[in-house]
Chains A and B, each alone.
Chain A
């Protein structure tokens, strides 16, 4: 089965985020004075072919721990959904 994993990588709350502060300043300059805080992060969309959802989730967690996030400064969150249409167009997933 093909799964789409969406990985959200964010700076830990205790880590300063100069990019977020700069974006907040830009929003204030545009008149969005209600903005109190902005945190910038990374978004990754990953297609992978795995036997089942548990397997897919555990593989993406390994990817995040090893490479996608630096756990010294970042947290990550994974959202996973099957992509059956993609599996069919590629001639089906693994048996």
Chain B
């Protein structure tokens, strides 16, 4: 698997993603500058977290018009695997590659803490190694992660199995207390209808080694590796 990690002005989690893939999983990575227009032979593209363009106007609103995003859209439309983490999720929504929007947290606070995610379905390329109902412990770090979509979109996300992760308690219950930001229906991550583009607010790359407090985030990266191998066979 060849992974490209896109770096916008203001991206801050690019090296954490590279560390998780290269140092922990031994997968080759390269950084992709936001001015690049050709993704070459990449199999997986990650839009990492951060504050691209200072979050000016809206989170992700400026980054989505950079040259690399045309290439990312083409790549996604051809079925390439795209993972948007935190600010990357916001950029994918602004680019309309994922549905909904992320509003300011209901508490108006920046939340930086460990949360639990329930895997809602394992058909997505990024959860093929997980079982539905499995609980992953992964940290969040954001001020604008409050998932919103209109009622019609929410119903179609539910019907199509596009809700991949929900915030939950340690034993997997979906409760208001487990929801750190006010997201509708506790939604933490959604995929496109085809299942090759995933966005989530939590940071799996920061949960890839016991030293960091846990390694549940590896399940997401390993799933992508296995999904790609399955296609190749």
- Interface, chain A (partner B; CB < 8 A): 11, 14-16, 18-19, 22, 42, 67-68, 70, 72-73
- Selected from B62, B105, B106, B148, the residue in CB contact (under 8 A) with A73 is B148
Q: How large is the interface on B (under 10, 10 to 19, 20 to 34, 35 or more residues)?
A: 20 to 34
Given contacts A22-B108, A72-B100, contact A15 B57 (CB under 8 A): no
Q: Tell me if B105 and A18 are in contact (CB < 8 A).
A: yes
Tell me if A72 and B104 are in contact (CB < 8 A).
Answer: no
List chain B positions with a Cβ less than 8 A from chain A. 57-58, 61-62, 65, 93-94, 100-101, 103-108, 146, 148-150, 182
Residues of B within 8 A of A72 (CB): 93, 100-101, 148-150
A19 x B104 contact (CB < 8 A): yes
Q: Which residues of A contact B149 (CB under 8 A)?
A: 72
Q: How far is the CB of A6 from chain B (nearest CB, A)?
A: 16
CA of A77 to CA of B107 in the docked complex: distance in angstroms?
28
- Using Cβ atoms and an 8 Å threshold, which residues of chain B touch A18? 103-108, 146, 182
Question: How far is B58's CA from A68's CA once the two chains are assembled, in angstroms?
Answer: 9
Q: Tell me which residues across on chain A come within 8 A of B104, comparing CB atoms.
A: 18-19
Determine whether the beta carbon of B148 is less than 8 Å from that of A68: no
A18–B146 Cα gap in the complex (Å)? Answer: 10
Q: How far is the CA of A73 from the CA of B103 in the complex (A)?
A: 9
- Which residues of B lie under 8 Å from residue A11 when comparing CB positions? 103
